[in-house]
Structure 1
Amino acid sequence: MKLYKLSLALVLGLGMLASCGDKLELVNPNQQTTGTFGFNADDLEESVIAAYNHIRMEGSYARVGYMIDVCRGDEAWNSSQVWYLPFDDLNAPVTHDISFWPWREWYYTINVCNFGISRCGDNDAVLSERMRRIKGQMLFLRALSYYNLAGYYQNPPLITDYAGYSTLDGLYGKNSSYDEVLDQVERDFQEAMTLLPSRDAGGEWAGGRATSGAAAGYYARTLMQRHKYSEALAVLKDIIGKKYGTYKLMPNYGDNFREGSKYENNAESLFEVQFLDKDSQGTDDEWTPVNTSVNATQGSAIESNFAPGVYGGWADVSASPWLYQLFKQERTIKGKLDPRLYWTIGTYETDWEGFENGNVGYTKPMTATDTVVTNNNNGGLPIAKNTNMRTGLYDKVVTGLHDGINLRLMRYSDVLLRAAECENELNGPTQQAIDWINQVRQRAGLVGLKLADFPTADKLFEQIANVERPKEFGCEFGRGFDLIRWGFFYSADRLQQLKEHGTFRRSVHHAKDAVSYTQVGIDPELKSSYDTYAQGHEFLPIVQELTNKNPNLEGNSANYGSNNATYFQGKGWTVRPVVSLGH
């Protein structure tokens, strides 16, 4: 059930009628305050819905908040060379306004969650089942917010006490450390795991609400951001063992990127952002948290960002030639291309004749002579994922917040590949790690990996990090978080590898061709995003407007151009060396 068909307003509630002597005192139900609202489960359910609403706004997952991380990954590049360019070039200035938008949205979400959590009390044992579920969802969404804030801004203020908002010191928080924020994220996800039902409970728990499985999955992700592999592996094994609900890979990879009740909130999805199907939406784009139009579109603009200009898209982001060539290096058992390529990159391939909807772009047949590129001026390989380029539903892009495809933020394939990574980190290459990887490969029809081919943990890590994960999750949110936790910005060899992966051609010709970083500077059409990486800018700067207004707030590594290798190495973490896989 789509949650956003319900009211999005936090302050709606029943009017209160009271007598005082011979005077009649009325409370306007549309102008309630924290003194009159939020003291029962009905009110708090409205707060829960308001919090869910905030995660599908412009700066969270409806557009910019999602796209920034896609751009800072090495498997995508900014084909418009305008929007998102500072994030693709990893050198956003402190005055860059768009850098503020995720900050804005996630603190809006946190504000609502802090209010709801404050009404639930500290003793979970005395809560009714309904109140446990309300608190669990609030904890999950607050943890999700801080997970994103830490991943983007490194050291944001940690604000968890709603009562503290009554003072300026509470409103103008000072920076918390990266570790302090993630400590809180871990605590919130852990508690949410104990309060929420599994997706097996059915109803809305199987149709869009945060569940114990979603909390467990994100808890494991958070642990891995700080190399807590043993703890993370235990949680991931519990998910695989169905402790938090029943999950499995969908037989058809493409079912994770279509709209409609037949495909969304499926058995592979641990958590996804709910957007209304395109033909069920309103007419008013609702970009920011302060807009609450009753006719809101309640879709995302991800499709508009990805889709080629020839189909009406904004043509902002393309897949990297490295990702395309990676797909072409390995064929299935039946000698065909990896089917994930079909759903990830919208190119014509002879293998797609008779496969799914065939060689099609927005219901229009593509031919071998077609040169469909993302941007009419700068070219680029079109990203098909989370668009309707391959679904056969629509003949063009309706720009704005109209994409009805739910964003699957965590899938069961991620659980399997993360479990394999943790196993490898703890015990080196093992058959168990290989088996988890092969479950994902089997779905794609690929030959299973053999343990004998991976004599070292370094080699298996290379396979996971730069083959399995990009082919499974290419052009999805999360790659930037991975690059940070792996420390790829703190090793000369790994940074060089990123430069090679991030090389692309600014031309409407030869978009599919392999490119070489060695030719950057020689061939004027070639560029590498990571050539412009400024130290500390694996994170976004805390914008100057915020530090000007808040005397307690300081910048982060991006503001000061500082090297985060000191933090990484001080934890005793090492960056695994680049290993040739012999392709």
Structure 2
Amino acid sequence: MKNLKIILTMLVLIVIASACKDELIVEDPNNPTTADFGKSESDFREVVIACYNRIRLEGTFARVGYALDAVRGDEVWNSSQQWYLEYDNLNSPGTIDIGDQWPWRDNYHVVNRANFITTYIDEVDMPEDSYNEIAGQARFLRALAYYNLTTYYQDVPLITDYEDYSDLEKLYKANSPQEEVLDQIEEDLSMAMTLLPSKDKGGEWALGRATSGAAAGYMARVLMFRHKFDEAYPILRDIIAGKYGSYRLMSDYGDNFRESTENNDESLFEVQFMNFGTGGTDEEWTPVNISPDATQGHAIESNFASQELGSWGDLAGAPWLYNLFKAESSTDGRLDPRLYWTLVTYEDEYDLYTNQNTAAYPNGDPRTNVAYQQELTETPLSNNAQGGISIAKHTNARTNIYASITNGLQCGVNLRLMRYSDVLLRAAECENEINGPTQIAIDYINEVRRRVALPDLQLADFPTADHLFEQIANVERPKEFGCENGRGRDLIRWGFFYDQGRLQQLIEHGYYVTDGTANTDLLTAATASNSSFNTYTPGNEYFPIFQGTLNANPNLEGNSANKNEDNSTKFFANGYSVHPVVELE
């Protein structure tokens, strides 16, 4: 009887189970699967947002990825003598993750998401304008990521098909030659220039998003990296003429470095960060932090600002840059106002600049010698132990929003990656490369100089293209863009690592002292503690590919930095040349 009951019970259960064929399936709309995601316009718009999110990570522009190119240049040195030291000295062994791995990791996050869009968007019906906006942004952001990757790591794997991620053999790609990567970047930017609306047509939509003007500006950068001046120049002239939207220099140089004047008329593209105090409480140091309370600021301020005033004090402005600012006064005898916004120094002259609501100096605040609401009586130290001159750019040192620095991903100043002043100075450079020194080139430069009340340059003072190039490369650009991301790339494209005269010049620009003071002396080999470029060896103008990445991918090879291989032969074989060092009057 007992066995019979068991058998009957089992039969009942089987009947019940077989009868319940129509099950209620509830899909969580907040957790789409790979099978159902990517079927609608809204899905692709979410992926675009995910791409933008990835350019706000440590390895892209939230800290390390931005700072590495600045410290690679000759305007910034490593005042902590710890973090970034190997990248300042251009001698990383390839085993340090902050520079050898993090930018690689985070930029490929951008690539991967953009690849999803470019691979599948044609399978979804949507209005043409929507398609153009989504596809154009994906193309721009992928180009931006690959531009960062190839100008940091030289020969990198080129992946453009999302399907490749499902095949290990395709996923573990070998290095692509830098020229192939640059070809792909040009292709992406060319499409983005066509697909994206201009800043004017984009309206509110364009604030913070990539536009055709952003794509055109970066196309000019890539072409100039390859010495294609005759191709870059027409694009730059079109930007100036308004083909891609209306751009102009802001009357106040400081408007490029305040939270209150973000996405202004001078900005072609900038990385968006939340204003200080509005970005959450959880530090988003890694790409896996999905907390709804994640901070949404950047940590550039923690690197750039003064340790004496609360930051980590990792990086400092080069004494060479400080003295470059001091060498030339504005037409009314005042200091170049870009010094005020680039470096935090105490200047006696600032006490005289009261109630000067002009392009040159603070907006009528009589307390001009103030940083973080503290009145300065001397230049604050970048690093308490080593010394150095504190960097003001992309910090709130000069805005007085708060009295003390909150280290971490807290600073809300948007990072302006490309400004209209860059367009003007690049146009001058192209004009000089193609036609030699002309009044046209001089006029482009003078437009930038007039914003800060510097006297006009005169064509007669530049007898050769070499002389005008020297003015652009080692006077105009460092004073306009000092301590920003981009100088390291310029040094590579100009070939400064492949000419002994230029390399010696870099050594002299890179002199610093570790005497515990904010030394502003114009240093020499005899008076400097060292130079950031004394340890440079051929090939290390690029950063090495992380050894762990090489170990994980059997098809990947080290680059010139891993192998200490000289890139000068390749540079000159491409038909590129280096302007010799000349003395300016």
TM above 0.5, yes or no, is: yes
Whether contact under 8 Å (2:295, 2:410) holds in the other structure is yes
Secondary structure class of the residue paired with 1:537: coil
- Residue 431 of structure 1 is matched in structure 2 by 439
Q: What are the equivalent positions in structure 2 for 1:282-361 lying under 5 Å apart?
A: 282-353=280-351, 354=354, 355-356=361-362, 357=365, 358-361=368-371
Secondary structure class of the residue paired with 2:268: strand
* C-alpha distance in 2 between matches for 1:453 and 1:34: 64
- What letter is aligned with 2:183? D
Secondary structure class of the residue paired with 1:270: strand
TM-score of the pair, normalised by structure 1: 0.93
- Of 552, 558, 573, the residue aligned with 1:570 is 573
List per-residue Cα deviations over 1:32-82 (Å, max 9, x = no partner): 233210111111111000000000101000000001101000001000000
* C-alpha distance in 2 between matches for 1:239 and 1:34: 41
- Of 514, 523, 532, the residue aligned with 2:522 is 514
- Residue 10 of structure 1 is matched in structure 2 by none
Whether contact under 8 Å (2:380, 2:518) holds in the other structure is no
- Residue 121 of structure 1 is matched in structure 2 by 122
* C-alpha distance in 2 between matches for 1:460 and 1:123: 52
* C-alpha distance in 2 between matches for 1:230 and 1:107: 31
Whether contact under 8 Å (1:151, 1:481) holds in the other structure is yes
Q: What are the equivalent positions in structure 2 for 1:86-485 lying under 5 Å apart?
A: 86-98=86-98, 99-121=100-122, 128-260=128-260, 263-353=261-351, 354=354, 355-356=361-362, 357=365, 358-367=368-377, 370-485=378-493
* C-alpha distance in 2 between matches for 1:127 and 1:477: 37
Secondary structure class of the residue paired with 2:530: strand
Q: What are the equivalent positions in structure 2 for 1:71-82 lying under 5 Å apart?
A: 71-82=71-82
User: 1:127 Cα shift?
Assistant: 5.8
Unaligned regions of 5+ residues in structure 2, if any?
1-19, 355-360
User: 1:482 Cα shift?
Assistant: 0.2
* C-alpha distance in 1 between matches for 2:160 and 2:305: 39
Secondary structure class of the residue paired with 2:507: helix
- What letter is aligned with 2:121? C
RMSD (Å) for aligned C-alpha atoms: 1.5
List per-residue Cα deviations over 1:248-306 (Å, max 9, x = no partner): 0000000100113xx00000000000000002221111012111111111000000101
Whether contact under 8 Å (1:198, 1:205) holds in the other structure is no
User: 1:202 Cα shift?
Assistant: 4.4
* C-alpha distance in 2 between matches for 1:511 and 1:362: 21
List per-residue Cα deviations over 1:520-554 (Å, max 9, x = no partner): xxx5x611000011221110101110111101101
List per-residue Cα deviations over 1:489-516 (Å, max 9, x = no partner): 0000000000000001112236111111
Whether contact under 8 Å (1:275, 1:300) holds in the other structure is yes
* C-alpha distance in 2 between matches for 1:359 and 1:581: 32
* C-alpha distance in 1 between matches for 2:25 and 2:171: 32
Whether contact under 8 Å (1:205, 1:211) holds in the other structure is no
- What letter is aligned with 1:529? S
* C-alpha distance in 2 between matches for 1:127 and 1:499: 55
- What letter is aligned with 1:265? N
- Residue 27 of structure 2 is matched in structure 1 by 27
Whether contact under 8 Å (1:212, 1:244) holds in the other structure is yes
Whether contact under 8 Å (2:382, 2:518) holds in the other structure is no
User: 1:211 Cα shift?
Assistant: 0.3
- What letter is aligned with 1:267? D
- What letter is aligned with 1:269? S
Q: Percent identity?
A: 59
- What letter is aligned with 2:529? L
* C-alpha distance in 2 between matches for 1:371 and 1:484: 32
* C-alpha distance in 2 between matches for 1:176 and 1:26: 45
- In the alignment, structure 1 residue 530 sits paired with structure 2 residue 538: no
* C-alpha distance in 2 between matches for 1:68 and 1:230: 30
User: 1:123 Cα shift?
Assistant: 12
Structure ID, larger Rg: 2
- Of 542, 550, 555, the residue aligned with 2:553 is 550
- What letter is aligned with 1:78? N
Whether contact under 8 Å (1:197, 1:205) holds in the other structure is no
* C-alpha distance in 1 between matches for 2:123 and 2:475: 45
User: 1:350 Cα shift?
Assistant: 2.1
- Residue 495 of structure 1 is matched in structure 2 by 503
Secondary structure class of the residue paired with 1:77: strand
- What letter is aligned with 2:369? N
- What letter is aligned with 2:291? S
- In the alignment, structure 1 residue 540 sits paired with structure 2 residue 539: no
Secondary structure class of the residue paired with 2:431: helix
Q: Figure out how many residues of one structure are paired with residues of the other and give that number.
A: 553
* C-alpha distance in 2 between matches for 1:110 and 1:33: 21
Flag the 1:123–1:183 CA change in 2: closer, same or farther, 3 A. farther
Secondary structure class of the residue paired with 1:532: coil
* C-alpha distance in 1 between matches for 2:157 and 2:127: 29
Secondary structure class of the residue paired with 2:416: strand
User: 1:223 Cα shift?
Assistant: 0.5
- What letter is aligned with 1:228? K
- Residue 11 of structure 1 is matched in structure 2 by none
Whether contact under 8 Å (1:269, 1:411) holds in the other structure is yes
Greater mean deviation of Cα atoms: 353-362 or 374-383 = 353-362
- What letter is aligned with 2:34? T
